[in-house]
Structure 1
Protein backbone atom coordinates (compact mmCIF):
# COMPACT_ATOMS: atom_id res chain seq x y z
CA UNK A 1 0.00 0.00 0.00
CA UNK A 2 2.77 2.42 0.93
CA UNK A 3 4.77 1.48 -2.19
CA UNK A 4 1.73 2.20 -4.35
CA UNK A 5 1.19 5.60 -2.69
CA UNK A 6 4.89 6.43 -2.97
CA UNK A 7 4.95 5.47 -6.65
CA UNK A 8 1.88 7.62 -7.26
CA UNK A 9 3.51 10.50 -5.38
CA UNK A 10 6.64 10.30 -7.53
CA UNK A 11 4.55 10.00 -10.69
CA UNK A 12 2.29 12.87 -9.65
CA UNK A 13 5.23 15.11 -8.73
CA UNK A 14 6.66 14.67 -12.21
CA UNK A 15 3.30 15.79 -13.58
CA UNK A 16 3.09 18.97 -11.52
CA UNK A 17 3.23 21.11 -14.63
CA UNK A 18 1.26 18.74 -16.84
CA UNK A 19 -2.18 19.66 -18.16
CA UNK A 20 -3.79 16.22 -18.00
CA UNK A 21 -4.45 14.16 -14.89
CA UNK A 22 -3.06 10.60 -14.94
CA UNK A 23 -5.47 7.89 -16.03
CA UNK A 24 -7.89 7.00 -13.26
CA UNK A 25 -7.55 10.32 -11.45
CA UNK A 26 -9.98 13.17 -11.94
CA UNK A 27 -9.42 16.84 -11.21
CA UNK A 28 -11.55 18.52 -8.56
CA UNK A 29 -12.47 22.20 -8.33
CA UNK A 30 -11.30 22.44 -4.71
CA UNK A 31 -10.16 20.71 -1.54
CA UNK A 32 -10.87 20.45 2.16
CA UNK A 33 -7.80 20.87 4.39
CA UNK A 34 -7.25 20.85 8.13
CA UNK A 35 -4.77 22.96 10.03
CA UNK A 36 -3.45 22.44 13.53
CA UNK A 37 -1.90 25.13 15.69
CA UNK A 38 0.39 22.98 17.87
CA UNK A 39 0.91 25.70 20.49
CA UNK A 40 -2.75 26.63 20.96
CA UNK A 41 -3.88 23.01 20.47
CA UNK A 42 -6.60 24.21 18.11
CA UNK A 43 -7.57 22.90 14.71
CA UNK A 44 -9.41 24.61 11.88
CA UNK A 45 -10.82 23.42 8.59
CA UNK A 46 -10.05 25.24 5.35
CA UNK A 47 -12.00 24.98 2.11
CA UNK A 48 -10.08 26.15 -0.92
CA UNK A 49 -10.90 26.38 -4.60
CA UNK A 50 -8.15 25.62 -7.10
CA UNK A 51 -6.00 28.72 -7.46
CA UNK A 52 -7.20 30.16 -4.16
CA UNK A 53 -5.07 30.95 -1.11
CA UNK A 54 -6.15 31.23 2.52
CA UNK A 55 -4.44 32.45 5.68
CA UNK A 56 -3.91 30.06 8.56
CA UNK A 57 -2.06 31.83 11.35
CA UNK A 58 1.15 33.11 9.79
CA UNK A 59 0.81 30.69 6.87
CA UNK A 60 -0.56 31.38 3.42
CA UNK A 61 -1.90 28.12 1.96
CA UNK A 62 -2.50 27.98 -1.81
CA UNK A 63 -4.20 25.07 -3.59
CA UNK A 64 -2.89 24.54 -7.13
CA UNK A 65 -4.66 21.25 -7.85
CA UNK A 66 -6.66 18.45 -6.25
CA UNK A 67 -7.07 15.00 -7.80
CA UNK A 68 -9.06 11.96 -6.69
CA UNK A 69 -9.75 8.40 -7.93
CA UNK A 70 -12.50 8.83 -10.54
CA UNK A 71 -14.12 5.50 -9.68
CA UNK A 72 -14.12 6.13 -5.89
CA UNK A 73 -13.99 9.84 -4.93
CA UNK A 74 -14.01 9.07 -1.20
CA UNK A 75 -11.00 6.75 -1.45
CA UNK A 76 -8.21 9.32 -1.45
CA UNK A 77 -7.14 12.84 -2.38
CA UNK A 78 -3.94 14.25 -3.81
CA UNK A 79 -3.47 18.00 -3.44
CA UNK A 80 -0.67 20.15 -4.79
CA UNK A 81 -0.08 22.89 -2.22
CA UNK A 82 2.18 25.89 -1.86
CA UNK A 83 2.54 27.03 1.76
CA UNK A 84 4.39 30.21 2.68
CA UNK A 85 5.23 31.43 6.18
CA UNK A 86 4.41 35.11 5.79
CA UNK A 87 6.16 36.06 9.05
CA UNK A 88 9.53 35.29 7.43
CA UNK A 89 8.38 35.50 3.79
CA UNK A 90 9.62 31.98 3.04
CA UNK A 91 8.00 29.08 1.20
CA UNK A 92 7.93 26.20 3.70
CA UNK A 93 6.18 23.59 1.53
CA UNK A 94 5.56 23.06 -2.17
CA UNK A 95 4.37 19.72 -3.45
CA UNK A 96 1.77 16.98 -3.36
CA UNK A 97 0.08 15.93 -0.13
CA UNK A 98 -1.78 12.64 0.00
CA UNK A 99 -4.82 12.36 2.26
CA UNK A 100 -4.34 8.68 3.12
CA UNK A 101 -0.59 9.03 3.76
CA UNK A 102 0.08 12.54 5.08
CA UNK A 103 3.50 11.56 6.49
CA UNK A 104 4.87 10.77 3.00
CA UNK A 105 4.95 14.45 2.11
CA UNK A 106 4.29 16.62 5.12
CA UNK A 107 4.67 20.25 6.10
CA UNK A 108 7.60 20.65 8.49
CA UNK A 109 6.79 23.73 10.56
CA UNK A 110 7.51 24.40 14.23
CA UNK A 111 4.01 25.70 15.00
CA UNK A 112 1.55 24.54 12.33
CA UNK A 113 0.50 21.32 10.64
CA UNK A 114 -1.63 21.33 7.50
CA UNK A 115 -2.98 18.25 5.76
CA UNK A 116 -5.46 17.25 3.08
CA UNK A 117 -8.81 15.73 4.07
CA UNK A 118 -10.44 15.23 0.65
CA UNK A 119 -11.12 16.87 -2.68
CA UNK A 120 -14.20 19.06 -3.02
CA UNK A 121 -16.18 17.52 -5.87
CA UNK A 122 -19.64 19.04 -5.35
Structure 2
Protein backbone atom coordinates (compact mmCIF):
# COMPACT_ATOMS: atom_id res chain seq x y z
CA UNK A 1 0.00 0.00 0.00
CA UNK A 2 2.75 2.45 0.95
CA UNK A 3 4.79 1.53 -2.13
CA UNK A 4 1.78 2.10 -4.37
CA UNK A 5 1.10 5.49 -2.76
CA UNK A 6 4.75 6.51 -3.17
CA UNK A 7 4.78 5.31 -6.75
CA UNK A 8 1.61 7.28 -7.57
CA UNK A 9 2.93 10.41 -5.87
CA UNK A 10 6.35 10.21 -7.51
CA UNK A 11 4.91 9.58 -10.96
CA UNK A 12 2.22 12.21 -10.63
CA UNK A 13 4.60 14.87 -9.22
CA UNK A 14 5.60 16.47 -12.53
CA UNK A 15 1.97 16.71 -13.67
CA UNK A 16 1.05 18.63 -10.53
CA UNK A 17 4.07 20.91 -10.91
CA UNK A 18 2.80 22.07 -14.31
CA UNK A 19 -0.50 23.20 -12.77
CA UNK A 20 1.11 25.51 -10.21
CA UNK A 21 0.78 29.19 -11.06
CA UNK A 22 3.58 31.42 -9.82
CA UNK A 23 2.69 35.03 -9.06
CA UNK A 24 5.50 37.54 -8.59
CA UNK A 25 5.73 39.60 -5.43
CA UNK A 26 4.66 43.22 -5.86
CA UNK A 27 7.72 45.39 -6.48
CA UNK A 28 10.04 42.41 -7.04
CA UNK A 29 10.56 43.30 -10.69
CA UNK A 30 12.67 46.30 -9.58
CA UNK A 31 14.99 44.17 -7.43
CA UNK A 32 16.56 42.17 -10.24
CA UNK A 33 16.13 44.38 -13.26
CA UNK A 34 19.80 43.99 -14.16
CA UNK A 35 20.38 47.73 -14.31
CA UNK A 36 23.57 49.00 -12.68
CA UNK A 37 24.91 52.46 -12.25
CA UNK A 38 28.24 51.80 -13.94
CA UNK A 39 29.53 55.34 -13.45
CA UNK A 40 28.92 55.15 -9.69
CA UNK A 41 30.51 51.69 -9.50
CA UNK A 42 33.57 52.91 -11.42
CA UNK A 43 33.84 55.99 -9.21
CA UNK A 44 33.62 53.83 -6.07
CA UNK A 45 36.26 51.47 -7.47
CA UNK A 46 38.62 54.33 -8.30
CA UNK A 47 38.17 55.94 -4.87
CA UNK A 48 38.55 52.68 -2.96
CA UNK A 49 35.00 52.72 -1.60
CA UNK A 50 33.18 49.44 -1.20
CA UNK A 51 29.63 48.81 0.00
CA UNK A 52 29.54 46.43 2.98
CA UNK A 53 27.33 43.36 2.93
CA UNK A 54 24.81 42.42 5.56
CA UNK A 55 21.81 43.97 7.27
CA UNK A 56 23.20 47.52 7.07
CA UNK A 57 23.31 47.35 3.26
CA UNK A 58 19.57 48.06 3.02
CA UNK A 59 19.90 51.52 4.60
CA UNK A 60 21.13 54.64 2.82
CA UNK A 61 24.09 53.55 0.65
CA UNK A 62 25.96 56.84 1.13
CA UNK A 63 26.04 56.26 4.90
CA UNK A 64 27.10 52.60 4.77
CA UNK A 65 30.02 52.97 2.38
CA UNK A 66 33.42 52.77 3.94
CA UNK A 67 36.74 53.91 2.57
CA UNK A 68 39.18 51.08 2.08
CA UNK A 69 42.97 51.11 1.81
CA UNK A 70 45.16 48.79 -0.22
CA UNK A 71 47.29 46.44 1.83
CA UNK A 72 50.70 45.18 0.81
CA UNK A 73 50.05 41.54 1.72
CA UNK A 74 47.36 39.13 2.90
CA UNK A 75 47.18 36.24 5.33
CA UNK A 76 45.30 33.23 3.98
CA UNK A 77 44.23 30.10 5.84
CA UNK A 78 44.19 26.83 3.91
CA UNK A 79 42.55 23.63 5.13
CA UNK A 80 43.42 20.23 3.66
CA UNK A 81 40.13 18.38 4.10
CA UNK A 82 41.73 14.94 3.74
CA UNK A 83 44.45 15.28 6.37
CA UNK A 84 42.91 18.01 8.53
CA UNK A 85 46.08 20.10 8.26
CA UNK A 86 45.68 23.87 8.47
CA UNK A 87 48.30 26.20 6.95
CA UNK A 88 48.52 29.97 7.21
CA UNK A 89 50.14 31.58 4.19
CA UNK A 90 51.26 35.20 3.85
CA UNK A 91 51.42 36.49 0.29
CA UNK A 92 52.56 39.91 -0.90
CA UNK A 93 50.42 41.63 -3.54
CA UNK A 94 51.41 40.27 -6.95
CA UNK A 95 53.05 37.24 -5.38
CA UNK A 96 52.11 33.60 -5.69
CA UNK A 97 52.62 30.65 -3.42
CA UNK A 98 51.74 26.99 -3.23
CA UNK A 99 50.50 24.63 -0.58
CA UNK A 100 49.82 21.01 -1.40
CA UNK A 101 48.54 20.88 -4.97
CA UNK A 102 47.20 24.45 -4.96
CA UNK A 103 48.88 27.51 -6.43
CA UNK A 104 47.51 30.78 -5.04
CA UNK A 105 48.16 34.27 -6.41
CA UNK A 106 47.17 37.48 -4.62
CA UNK A 107 46.35 40.39 -6.94
CA UNK A 108 45.05 42.85 -4.37
CA UNK A 109 44.09 43.15 -0.72
CA UNK A 110 41.94 45.92 0.76
CA UNK A 111 40.84 46.70 4.31
CA UNK A 112 38.71 49.40 6.00
CA UNK A 113 40.65 52.62 6.56
CA UNK A 114 39.21 53.19 10.05
CA UNK A 115 39.55 49.55 11.19
CA UNK A 116 42.52 47.68 9.66
CA UNK A 117 41.75 44.48 11.57
CA UNK A 118 38.00 44.68 10.89
CA UNK A 119 37.70 43.00 7.50
CA UNK A 120 39.70 42.13 4.42
CA UNK A 121 38.82 41.95 0.73
CA UNK A 122 41.33 39.97 -1.34
CA UNK A 123 41.36 39.26 -5.06
CA UNK A 124 42.74 35.74 -5.50
CA UNK A 125 43.43 33.41 -8.39
CA UNK A 126 43.70 29.74 -7.38
CA UNK A 127 44.45 26.72 -9.55
CA UNK A 128 45.92 23.25 -9.18
CA UNK A 129 49.52 22.45 -10.14
CA UNK A 130 49.87 22.15 -13.91
CA UNK A 131 46.30 23.29 -14.63
CA UNK A 132 45.98 26.53 -16.62
CA UNK A 133 42.26 26.93 -15.84
CA UNK A 134 41.61 28.70 -12.55
CA UNK A 135 39.55 26.85 -9.97
CA UNK A 136 38.80 30.24 -8.41
CA UNK A 137 39.30 33.81 -9.55
CA UNK A 138 37.61 36.64 -7.67
CA UNK A 139 37.21 38.56 -4.44
CA UNK A 140 37.13 36.73 -1.11
CA UNK A 141 35.81 38.57 1.92
CA UNK A 142 37.09 37.76 5.40
CA UNK A 143 33.79 38.42 7.20
CA UNK A 144 31.79 36.35 4.67
CA UNK A 145 33.99 33.44 3.53
CA UNK A 146 31.07 31.43 2.15
CA UNK A 147 29.86 34.29 -0.03
CA UNK A 148 32.45 33.67 -2.74
CA UNK A 149 34.34 30.51 -1.84
CA UNK A 150 36.72 28.13 -3.55
CA UNK A 151 34.81 24.98 -4.50
CA UNK A 152 37.44 22.27 -4.37
CA UNK A 153 37.07 18.65 -3.24
CA UNK A 154 40.23 18.72 -1.11
CA UNK A 155 41.04 22.29 -0.05
CA UNK A 156 39.29 25.24 1.57
CA UNK A 157 40.85 28.72 1.45
CA UNK A 158 39.90 31.76 3.56
CA UNK A 159 41.19 35.31 3.73
CA UNK A 160 42.09 36.18 7.31
CA UNK A 161 43.41 39.76 7.07
CA UNK A 162 45.51 42.21 5.08
CA UNK A 163 48.96 43.33 6.17
CA UNK A 164 50.28 46.83 5.67
TM-score bucket of the superposed structures, by smaller chain: 0.7 to 0.9
Return the TM-score normalized by structure 1. 0.81
* Structure 1, unpaired ranges of 5+: 1-10
Match of 2:59 in 1: none
Between structures 1 and 2, the one with greater strand share: 1
Return the TM-score normalized by structure 2. 0.61
- Please list the CA deviations of residues 53-94 of structure 1 after superposition, one character each: whole Å capped at 9, or x if unmatched: 000111110000000000011110000000011254431000
* SS state at 1:90 partner: coil
User: Of 49, 57, 60, which aligns to 2:92?
Assistant: 49
* Structure 2, unpaired ranges of 5+: 1-37, 50-65
Q: How far apart in 2 are the matches of 1:90 and 1:113?
A: 18
Moved over 6 A (4+): none
Does 1:99 pair with 2:126? no
Larger CA Rg, structure 1 vs 2: 2
Higher relative contact order (CA 8 A, sep 6+): 1
